[in-house]
Structure 1
Amino acid sequence: MSNRWDTAYEDVLKEALPRLAEKGEVGADTSLKAVGLDSLAMVELLIRVESEYGIGIPDEDLVPGVFDTPGTLWTLIERCRDEQTAA
């Protein structure tokens, strides 16, 4: 299965989570906690994502599960981009 995100997203993930870069391939179901996501890395990743995609992720969307995998976070990024582009 190929991932549906762009290479910039993988770069952002690998910059925020160096252990993910060591792993090589980034799968949609890779556990971000297993590759080092903690509360500090979560904040760093959020800032990098918002900057890279020119979006703001509302606090109410930062619910448990969003940062579980690259796939769950990408789903939120796409939704925020779509909503903010339409506004």
Structure 2
Amino acid sequence: MPDPDARLADLRPGMSGQVIDIDESVEPSTARRLFDLGFAPGAEVTVLRKSPLGDPFVFQVVEYEVALRKAQAAGIHVRRIA
């Protein structure tokens, strides 16, 4: 059964998740920007790659690639789907 409370930062390259919500601890302006970038509830996000040192991550969301720092990705709750 998929983990209902995983964080986007916990996923490995090749894994996907469906956005559940953005953590309340994320600054409102950052949460709004993430939403505008496509990290909205219900959106499917796939981890494409991580840098060799683990930060930043590159995700595919909506039909484009977005790089986020690990701290930003940790504020996004997802349901793992692959």
Tell me which protein shows more strand as a share of its residues: 2
Normalised by the size of structure 1, how large is the TM-score? 0.29
Normalised by the size of structure 2, how large is the TM-score? 0.30
Tell me which protein shows more helix as a share of its residues: 1
The higher radius of gyration belongs to 1
